[in-house]
Structure 1
Amino acid sequence: MASAQTASRGTTEEMLAARPWLKSYPPTVPAELDEASFGTLVELFRNATRSFADRPAYESFGKRITYGEFAGAAEAVASWLQAQGLRKGDRVAIMMPNVLAYPAALFGVLLGGYTVVNVNPLYTPRELTHQLNDAGVRMLFVLENFAHVVEEALPNLKLDAVVVVSPGDLMGFKGKIVNFVSRHVKKAVRPFSLPRTMTFASVLAAGRSRKVQPVAVAPDDIAFLQYTGGTTGVAKGAILTHRNVAANVTQLATWLNGWVSTDGEERHVMVVALPLYHIFALTVCCMMMLRIGACGLLIANPRDIPGFIKTLKSTRFTMMCGVNTLYNAIANNPDAKGIDFSAMVLSLAGGMATQAAVAKRWRDLTDKPIVEGYGLSETSPVVCANRLDIEEFTGTIGFPLPSTEVAIRAPDNGDVPHGEVGELCVRGPQVMAGYWHRPDETAKVMTEDGFFRTGDLAVMGDDGSVRIVDRMKDMVLVSGFNVYPNEVEDVLVRHPKVLEAAVIGLPDEHSGEAVAAYVVRRDESLTEDELRAYARENLTAYKVPRHVVFRESLPKTNVGKVLRRELRDQVIGAKRAEGA
């Protein structure tokens, strides 16, 4: 779908007029990349494990494994899967948080020529059933902590086998301690009974008894069915080919190389707090780090902020990826002042809008700015990124990556002038091949000239930088005026007594919709009148929340993204129940 971008661009002047962001590129970053160089993720894996065999590849619960050990485990998984009679292209699901077995299982599936279906381990049986059946999954790798969910869903699934993983797998003797604590101290494993199961340890043992058979994996083969969060409807599987993801890795490496060496000489450690089943962490923290020979510091439970901070205090790290809520939680914890951030060269943010107040807190804590980027599951994911040499948070998502085109378009598909709001549309080699078995849904999001409609409202500056205004479906219409929740939330969280805020629109008989703010307080003395007065100082009247509700927490994804739609459903459902 993205092949149209390879057409002739015309003169340099015409190119700069059509793509003004190129003027902001550093001299080392080209406008276009050689698409023949993207290759496959299998080639990426082979090159990394061969070049960095003795380096640490991953660390979990204080235990490190080398690239060589990681490669051996992945090949054993691939060999075992081949012995089960799977055919090239068959789907294999992985349902785990960030533990050492995750990347081994992930690349084992890819080495065998199969397709990975990443599964959120917090799914309910209903959600799990939908995703696995929709993808036609034959094998499932699941951490034992979530095996009881699989047991409940199993009668409605069509699995050949289930592989049960423990958090201590690949850790040697230390793994026994980790497993004991998980099972008997934290009591994190509920009883379960699953037929046709294998342990991950037995899979490795069986796989190592035979050599993995080489499989011809091509760039257009499907690497992932990456399911969207389903916050706007039924979850759909974005088809990501090896070429899509490998292209994005090359784009990121090229962009990074403008400021940070990517030749493998520097020993980087990436804090992998976002779950690897999420596309942001999958590409940036896993695939990209393989490319530069970095070590991934796996955080199994980033919601345990005290435990997370304790890990950061004991480890020298150079890079970190996170979302707004994660950076906010760390910056607001007094123990974070004991973390040594001196080696950190990069704090990346994506997944949701980063609020200026959070960026300031992070800058004050670390003396480093948050570098924000933007992407989606359908774009493998990164579309835009800020320059890495910024001194302060910019409030934009930066510039389109090399070989990426963006357009800000009106509903009639015409481009809007710079500075005006329109829908962000993307064309490039990282754009998905479509939605799995949903040609009708694919047609809705692809334009005739090959652009993907993101559903995000954005503005492009004269320099080509892009600023996200909000999700189209989250916009609130007050008496004909557009209110963007991101803007209102950004104002509210600047109040020193506010920890988090989410803004939605509620039906109103006078104005069509009314702005409603749901707020988690940092200071319990905060009142509705105080917060509304603060909002009036910073927002025009129709944007000021008519309703202010204080809550203990906000509904979020496992990545920490606030679910406005779920919040709205909760509120409207409660109001209907009251009316009944």
Structure 2
Amino acid sequence: MIPHLPTVPDYLAHWAQHTPDAPAVVYRDQTLTYAELAVEVDRVAAALLASGVRPGDRVAVLANPSRTFWLTFLGSLSIGAVWLGLNPKYRLPELAYNVDNSRPSLLIGMGRFGDQDFAPTLSALAAPHGLSPIVFDAPAAEGAEDWDSFLARGAAVDAAALAAAREGIRADSPALIVYTSGSTGRPKGAVLGHGGLARSFEIQAHRAPVAPLRVVANLPINHIGGVGDLCCTPLIQGGTIVFQDVFDARAMLDSVAEYGVNAFMQVPTTLKILFERPDIDSFDLSGLRYVSWGGGPLPADIIRRLRSRDLHVGTTYGMTEITGSVTYSDLDADVEQLANTVGRPIPDIEFRLVDEHGDEVAPGQTGEVLVKHPGLLLEYFDNPAATADSFTADGFFATGDVGLIRADGNMQLVARTKEIFKSGGYNTYPREIELVLEEHPAVRLAAVVPVKHPVFDEVGIAYLEADPAQVGDDELAQWCRDRLANYKVPKGFVMMDALPLLPVGKVDRMALRAMAADRFADVFAS
């Protein structure tokens, strides 16, 4: 039975007491039980205290999904520090922006992964703030400290001091900063609270159709899907996290038989890669019981393949600023519902769809999604103006997503407010067009972006994962004309082997906008 506890670290303490020998973490063939994990987290928490970290201080960590990442997260939260994940795939300017903005008291990072040396990156991030980085998975370079020395400092902190540091953490105490992807501008640091993390992923843990969850955690640690869905949810349920440093399709499929993984909770991109493999049937997936996704749509063809394996299949809708998911598909949802909607709003939240004047729209009409949810961000870090702009006067968070509630009660997303464009004076919703294109048997994935047009102001350009040998522009245009109003029909089609992605696995629409502007500006100008 899942208890109702105030913070995520409280769940670790609970399971360490009640199921001490259950596997909590698997990493590089080494397993930690819940009792062992609790001991390791205490060591890290003590070392943080000995290093001068206090409630509200930020601890920034550059790492892949790994045991050490998880220890720093739980150790930081347990003493009231605010944890921040840094993605090793980011370039130095991107990392520096997040570090400069959050001003951490401590910087921890892996020294090496594969043939990549991160010592210069850590030094460059630490120097402007007068920090000495703490390095694991490699010897520490000059000016840095190794992981063992860091842990050794914690020996001076006794159990009473550690317990005292853990008192006073409230539901509205900050726990985590997650920087938005920055797809529409500079990233903003969403500050998520202890109570919001615990409640959001308790809801998710209860809704999972398998227990205890045994999941592969391989999404970036700076992503709420990585640190929240894939790590907090199984911990709250008393399940097992199998860490993999990076996404590796073969290793992930092997984990089902090797480690008893029973759930894949992923973004659509990874599920497409996994289940489009020609050798998929050579893997023993008999133990896999549940597959879910969020962050974007999954093509109907992949959903059919999942359903053919007698799996529980589900999709959800959430975002960084609301921490956990606020819609879930029914367990018996059909392929059309799973492909075209994000499920039903859950009763644990307040939910509205409103027009541009803030008035609620009628059923079946499109409107911006507003939510009140236990997991709403506390603020954008050091950005009161952005915080104020994101909330209504009565406390609803404006998601920037536009959707509609269908007659069957499921929500269909049609666009981000910043993705809507006007063509010939009409509001045009990219997702509506993408859904039509993805119904074509030759199209695996579609993304529609606007470009300037001398007559219609803007028109849509469709970027497609499709084989040009199987379908041409004329056929696609006619396909759309048969199903959409004329102004919605894309005025250009571009076939690609794979659409460009953001580090979190979502389609990089800003990159596509730039490509479309470069390719079609002269075409329409003439």
> What's the counterpart of residue 418 of structure 1?
363
> What's the counterpart of residue 118 of structure 2?
147
Aligned mate of 2:306, from 362, 367, 385 = 362
Other structure's SS at 1:157 match: helix
Contact 2:62 2:86 in 1 (8 A): yes
> What's the counterpart of residue 173 of structure 2?
221
Q: Does 1:320 align with 2:246?
A: no
Taking the aligned partners of 1:85 and 1:152, their CA distance within structure 2 comes to 20
Taking the aligned partners of 2:486 and 2:124, their CA distance within structure 1 comes to 50
> What's the counterpart of residue 277 of structure 2?
333
> What's the counterpart of residue 129 of structure 1?
96
Q: Does 1:236 align with 2:200?
A: no
Q: Does 1:50 align with 2:17?
A: yes
* Amino acid of the structure 2 residue aligned with 1:141: I
Matches for 1:164-203 after TM superposition, within 5 Å: 164-166=135-137, 194-203=141-150
* Amino acid of the structure 2 residue aligned with 1:118: G
Q: Does 1:382 align with 2:325?
A: yes
Identical amino acids, percent of aligned pairs? 28
Other structure's SS at 1:326 match: helix
Taking the aligned partners of 1:117 and 1:480, their CA distance within structure 2 comes to 43
Other structure's SS at 2:279 match: helix
Other structure's SS at 2:418 match: helix
Other structure's SS at 1:334 match: coil
Taking the aligned partners of 1:448 and 1:271, their CA distance within structure 2 comes to 40
Taking the aligned partners of 1:251 and 1:277, their CA distance within structure 2 comes to 22
Matches for 1:225-374 after TM superposition, within 5 Å: 225-256=177-208, 260=210, 266-302=211-247, 304-312=248-256, 314-364=258-308, 366-368=309-311, 370-374=313-317
> What's the counterpart of residue 75 of structure 2?
108
Matches for 1:426-575 after TM superposition, within 5 Å: 426-461=371-406, 464-522=409-467, 524-573=469-518
RMSD, matched Cα: 2.9
Deviation at 1:325, TM superposition (A): 1.3
Please identify, of 135-144 and 382-391, the stretch whose mean Cα deviation from structure 2 is larger: 382-391
Aligned residues: 513
Deviation at 1:194, TM superposition (A): 5.0
Contact 1:53 1:67 in 2 (8 A): yes
Give 5+ residue unaligned stretches, structure 1. 1-33, 167-178, 180-191, 261-265
> What's the counterpart of residue 132 of structure 2?
161
Alignment CA distance shift 1:484-1:294 (3 Å)? same
Other structure's SS at 2:379 match: coil
Taking the aligned partners of 2:521 and 2:487, their CA distance within structure 1 comes to 25
* Amino acid of the structure 1 residue aligned with 2:103: G
* Amino acid of the structure 2 residue aligned with 1:163: I
User: Cα deviation per residue 1:213-250 (whole Å; 9 max; x = unaligned)?
Assistant: 22112222110111111111111111111011112123
Taking the aligned partners of 1:341 and 1:251, their CA distance within structure 2 comes to 27
Relative to the length of structure 1, the TM-score reads 0.81
Alignment CA distance shift 1:490-1:362 (3 Å)? farther
Please identify, of 489-498 and 329-338, the stretch whose mean Cα deviation from structure 2 is larger: 489-498
Deviation at 1:508, TM superposition (A): 0.8
Other structure's SS at 1:474 match: coil
User: Cα deviation per residue 1:72-118 (whole Å; 9 max; x = unaligned)?
Assistant: 22111111111111222100012212122111111111123210012
Taking the aligned partners of 2:68 and 2:74, their CA distance within structure 1 comes to 10
Contact 2:459 2:490 in 1 (8 A): yes
Q: Does 1:79 align with 2:31?
A: no
Contact 2:477 2:490 in 1 (8 A): yes
Deviation at 1:253, TM superposition (A): 3.5
Deviation at 1:300, TM superposition (A): 1.9
Deviation at 1:465, TM superposition (A): 3.1
Taking the aligned partners of 2:50 and 2:492, their CA distance within structure 1 comes to 60
Alignment CA distance shift 1:108-1:540 (3 Å)? same
Taking the aligned partners of 2:186 and 2:513, their CA distance within structure 1 comes to 17
> What's the counterpart of residue 186 of structure 1?
none
Other structure's SS at 1:473 match: coil
Alignment CA distance shift 1:548-1:523 (3 Å)? closer
Taking the aligned partners of 1:56 and 1:565, their CA distance within structure 2 comes to 42
Other structure's SS at 2:31 match: strand
Contact 2:60 2:107 in 1 (8 A): yes
* Amino acid of the structure 1 residue aligned with 2:23: P
Give 5+ residue unaligned stretches, structure 2. none
Contact 1:371 1:393 in 2 (8 A): no
Contact 1:422 1:458 in 2 (8 A): yes
Deviation at 1:430, TM superposition (A): 1.3
